Amino acid sequence: SSYQLLSGQLKKYANIAKAGGWPQIPDDAKKLKKGKSSPEVAVIKKYLQFTSDLPQGDTTNIFDENLADGIKSYQSRFGYNAN
């Protein structure tokens, strides 16, 4: 039912708040390229894990294929051209 879906989302967002809230993705993160390593990559991964676009557990600073897939998933869900 709609109520159950809403209740599930409320729990999800409550857990995000308990974990410190949404991570802030730095403006210069747009310059990151696959194969590179940067502290900003871990921030993006955490954000995409909150949105369920990236599996939990990957906390590395490396921009890998999994992160590229997570970004494409996020873009597609919000109607952007997945690139």
* pLDDT at position 43: 92
Task: Report d(CA 83, CA 66) in Å as an integer.
Answer: 14
* pLDDT at position 70: 95
- Which tens digits make up the pLDDT trace of 16-29? 888 888 888 888 88
- Which tens digits make up the pLDDT trace of 30-79? 889 999 999 999 999 999 998 899 999 888 999 999 999 999 999 998 89
* Residue 31: partners with Cβ closer than 8 Å, 6 or more residues away: none
CB 10 within 8 A of CB 30: no
Q: Which amino acid is at 2?
A: S
Nearest to 62 by CA among 34, 20, 83: 34
Task: Report d(CA 45, CA 61) in Å as an integer.
Answer: 9
